[in-house]
Structure 1
Amino acid sequence: MTSRVVAGAGVPHVPVFPQLVRDGDQDVAGRYGAVEAVLAAAEPDLLVVVANDHLNAYFLDRLPTFAISLGEAASGPLDAVPSVAAHDVPVDAGSAAALAARLVDAGFDLTLCRDAVLDHSVVVPLHFLNGRHLPVVVLHVNGLVAPLPSARRCHELGCALRQAVSTLPGDRRIAVVASGSFSQDVGGSRVDPGRSWSVPRPDWAEQVAAMLTVGDVDQLVRRATPQMLAEAGSVAGELLSWITVAGAVGRDLAPRVDYRAGEAFAFVAWTKE
């Protein structure tokens, strides 16, 4: 057997969700739990997390389009995640370096980070999905500041990641995880009165969930244009991490999509049928 992607996941990274679950929110806990159960059943030994930083780990003076963490650990959260204390996340530095080399060879010019920090986009998914404390590789995709990478380029990155995984030595079982929303505006002119965020295009979020449900990634890539993402909100570029993961899981894994109408996100697991 060769190393391979055995499962995938996509979840929201809302910073208050860990606190809500701690306070007894069984709905949120159940949705994350269903995704975590799929990942656990696939028995991965490494998680590759694809996420969009919120100008916390990187800022406008040095903003990479794609970046990968290569150190032995990454610390976080460096922003506020209630009920989650700052801690070190173990990174599989050898696998990260090997994947980086293959991705660069495939034409992706990655920023290589030896001293990485993480915000809630990585820490919240790991809080719910990595109870077994598996080592991780963290791949950041710019989903916040224009010019964003195209959806096509992100899908190609995911496909290249799947090929890179197959070259890891040994019989490695890899799960890939995306996080973020499909339509959300934070701190912008479209925020609902009295709130800090809004969902400008719930119809787009519903369409994304529908395309994920039937596995129509090609249509999703075509429709996730810069104009569409801009209409969908100031952080709607987080969808690009999902498109990257969709490329990484390929067509061998089928999606299970949990989406509630009107929400900005979904809980998705990709697994063998």
Structure 2
Amino acid sequence: MARIVLGVGASHSTLMNTHWDRVVHTEDAERFRDALGEARDAIAAARPDVAVVVGSNHFRGFWLDLIPAFTLGVGEVVGAGEAGTPKGPQRTHPAVARALAEALIERGTEVALSARLQIDHGQTHAIQYLLRDLDVPVVPLVVNVFAVPLPRPDRCVALGHNLAEAVRALPGDLRVVVIASGGLSHQLPWPADWRDPQNADEEFLVEAWLNGRGEWERYDERRRAIITAARPVIFSGFDERFLADLESGDLRRYASWTSADIERAAGNGGQELRTWLTMAAALGFAPGRRLAYAAMPEWLTGMGVAMVEPAGTAP
């Protein structure tokens, strides 16, 4: 029987690739990077046949002309390649992806399907650091966390539960790793509501989000300038509590939170925690283990890495 053999949650930031030389908190940055390496080694030791990468998309693969709550890549997957992240076709497993899609829909999670999915660092950062040099195909599962209205956290938990059942329904003895990419707390200089931009920068961003299909790079220089000029806002107290709840197997309690609850506690970038909830639910909310946490103002984000092993996992 196919089964999930490991879950990993990891923050992402392209500033790791582009702004390492500007890091002041060097020890924290190195500890986070080393934890990514530790998680990568644990993935290798788990010998997965496929990795389901649950992540967000930052309007380089989805735009406001069409942005579903959940999307599964069931065919070709292409990395956008922004800021030194993997670019071009990624190794995939379409047969597994399509079987998972059918099983998810049968179980009540109506995922959108993409036979040619472009992903950005919401997925490729994990491929770059957690699957480095591992010959493991990916199945990307993209969660909308930025274009309101957002899927409710409890629906993300249901997605995770259904994903676990869908994996168990796969033929053969496939070993599956589930990776959550995103978070922890951070505040992006993005409009709170794309329907109501408040200044020239927000108007520009909404224009980029609406019209970027096929030409997102035309907007990218100013987009990154807006991001890198932002004042860091990190809620490290929340991050510590969230990771403590992961370690005790208590992330289920966030299923009752609203988007407003998440933003108050963890900033608008904290909406990416939906990916962690999906992963944790797929692992049955088993107690996990924190590998590292660092509040990194240079990367605008509370950076965490953790692993969850399902109860009774055989070596």
TM-score by length of 2: 0.77
- Given the alignment, which residue of 268, 271, 277 partners 1:234? 268
Identity of paired residues, percent? 28
User: Alpha-carbon deviation of 1:266?
Assistant: 1.2
Aligned to 2:49: 45
User: Alpha-carbon deviation of 1:203?
Assistant: 2.4
Q: Distance in 2 between matches of 1:93 and 1:53?
A: 20
User: Alpha-carbon deviation of 1:200?
Assistant: 4.7
Aligned to 2:77: 74
* CA shift digits 1:105-147 (9 cap, x unpaired): 1111211101111100111111111121211111111111221
Q: Distance in 1 between matches of 2:36 and 2:234?
A: 24
Whether the 8 Å CA contact 1:38–1:271 is kept in 2: the answer is no
Q: Would you say 1:173 and 2:175 are equivalent positions?
A: yes
Moved more, 11-20 or 124-133: 11-20
Whether the 8 Å CA contact 1:209–1:259 is kept in 2: the answer is no
Aligned to 1:12: 11
Aligned to 2:233: 199
Aligned to 1:3: 2
* CA shift digits 1:13-71 (9 cap, x unpaired): 11132457799964343110111122112111110000011122111110100101111
Aligned to 2:203: none
Q: Would you say 1:267 and 2:305 are equivalent positions?
A: yes
Which amino acid in the other structure matches residue 63 of structure 2?
A: F
Q: Tell me which protein shows more helix as a share of its residues.
A: 2
Any gaps of 5 or more consecutive residues in structure 2?
193-226, 297-301
Alignment of 1:20-59 (within 5 A): 26-59=30-63
Question: Which secondary structure does the structure 2 equivalent of 1:116 belong to?
Answer: strand
Which amino acid in the other structure matches residue 158 of structure 1?
A: G
Which amino acid in the other structure matches residue 188 of structure 2?
A: V
User: Alpha-carbon deviation of 1:183?
Assistant: 1.6
Question: Which secondary structure does the structure 2 equivalent of 1:257 belong to?
Answer: strand
Q: Distance in 2 between matches of 1:168 and 1:85?
A: 28
Any gaps of 5 or more consecutive residues in structure 1?
none
Q: Distance in 2 between matches of 1:160 and 1:194?
A: 38
Aligned to 2:291: 258
Cα distance change on mapping 1:154 and 1:85 into 2, 3 Å: closer
User: Alpha-carbon deviation of 1:98?
Assistant: 0.3
Aligned to 1:217: 251
Q: Distance in 2 between matches of 1:177 and 1:197?
A: 29
Q: Distance in 2 between matches of 1:250 and 1:181?
A: 20
Q: Distance in 1 between matches of 2:54 and 2:159?
A: 11
Higher alpha-carbon Rg: 2
Q: Would you say 1:183 and 2:185 are equivalent positions?
A: yes
